[in-house]
Amino acid sequence: MSLVYSFFSGLISGTNIAVFMGLTSPLVAATQFSGYMALRNLTYTYSSAWQGRHAELHGYLATLRLDAWIAFLPILLIPFLKPRRGETPGPAAPAPADPA
């Protein structure tokens, strides 16, 4: 069971990172990506805190059900995510002079 969990956790993490990389602006990609990863780590931190307390009070199955419903909510936002396409890093090069 641990191997199955690790496999799906890896799939989710890889997809998560790919979405974040697609959303970053090439001009400040490293800064934005660092911010996304910091927020992701914050999510892991507060999730482990509330899930542990909730599991003690209501049981493991109830915690998994609640967590699944909470995790479903961001899926509703996916259609609104639009990666930046066609953007070049740095200042745009000047157009070549017309030889005529």
User: Tens place of pLDDT for every residue, the chain, 100 residues?
Assistant: 788 888 988 898 888 888 888 888 888 888 988 998 898 899 889 888 888 899 999 999 999 899 889 888 888 888 887 766 665 544 454 555 555 5
> What pLDDT was estimated at residue 57?
95
Q: b/e string for 36-54 if b means 16 or more Cβ within 10 A?
A: beeeeeeeeeeeeeeeeeb
> What pLDDT was estimated at residue 90?
46
Can you give 43-73 as a three-state secondary structure string? Answer: HHHHHHHHHHHHHHHHCHHHHHHHHHHHHHH
Residues in contact with 68: Cβ distance below 8 Å, sequence separation at least 6, in sequence order: none
What SS3 state is found at 42?
helix
> What pLDDT was estimated at residue 53?
92
Tell me the whole-structure pTM to 2 decimals: 0.57
> What pLDDT was estimated at residue 87?
54
> What pLDDT was estimated at residue 5?
85
Domain residue spans in the chain? 26-81
